[in-house]
A and B are shown apart, each in its own frame.
Chain A
Amino acid sequence: GQQLNQSPQSMFIQEGEDVSMNCTSSSIFNTWLWYKQDPGEGPVLLIALYKAGELTSNGRLTAQFGITRKDSFLNISASIPSDVGIYFCAGFSGSARQLTFGSGTQLTVLP
């Protein structure tokens, strides 16, 4: 089946720094989603992308739908302690009825 490679697996950054993470797919997707999961809670949707090349922001978060439709990027600017958590990408191809999830990026923000 489809696979998503998400990198990096973990990041340790200083408060105030910018963060970048990405996902690549072996197949084309027509929807990319980015989620954040806090410890002990369910994933929360951050950003949804529906068109190749689309760039969408949500506060300090910006995500892009790659023009090849096989990748997506998430950037967090000026990180703060509450950004700590696991970030997941997910893709959907339209012909499938399932989301495919990346393995997650564990983000730690150091004071």
Chain B
Amino acid sequence: EAQVTQNPRYLITVTGKKLTVTCSQNMNHEYMSWYRQDPGLGLRQIYYSMNVEVTDKGDVPEGYKVSRKEKRNFPLILESPSPNQTSLYFCASSLGTGPYEQYFGPGTRLTVT
């Protein structure tokens, strides 16, 4: 089944403890992206990648890192999480090098205390 998977789905952590949220797609998509969703603010893009080893900042990249060493994986790294990074995170992918017809993962709900 074609899908985007994220792990973990739920995470509660403490301020400053490094964490990684994994994202994987099995559709051989070129473009991958991370979003955060907050009440009243909608979906905001954190980082995106047009291909392996090609990443770029989205609208809200501060406090996040990403890497794209393989086509299928696009992990999101929070080196030193803070409470304002408490949010619902989505990974998405699309065929081609642009965000056409993005397919979203199921989401990761992160709470930083």
Listed in ascending order, the chain A residues whose CB lies under 8 Å from chain B are 1, 31, 33, 35, 40-45, 48, 88, 92, 94, 97-99, 101-104
Binary contact track B74-113/A, C-beta < 8 Å → 1, others 0: 0000000000000000101000011111111111000000
A33 pairs with B101, CB closer than 8 A:
yes
14 CB contacts below 8 A, A to B, read A33-B101, A42-B92, A43-B90, A44-B104, A92-B98, A92-B99, A97-B97, A97-B98, A98-B99, A99-B102, A102-B42, A103-B40, A103-B42, A104-B42
A98 pairs with B107, CB closer than 8 A:
no
B104 pairs with A92, CB closer than 8 A:
no
Given contacts A42-B90, A88-B43, A92-B99, contact A98 B58 (CB under 8 A): yes
Q: Range of interface residues on chain B?
A: 20 to 34
In this complex, the member of B41, B59, B104 whose beta carbon has the largest number of chain A beta carbons within 10 angstroms is: B104
Closest to B105 in A: A42
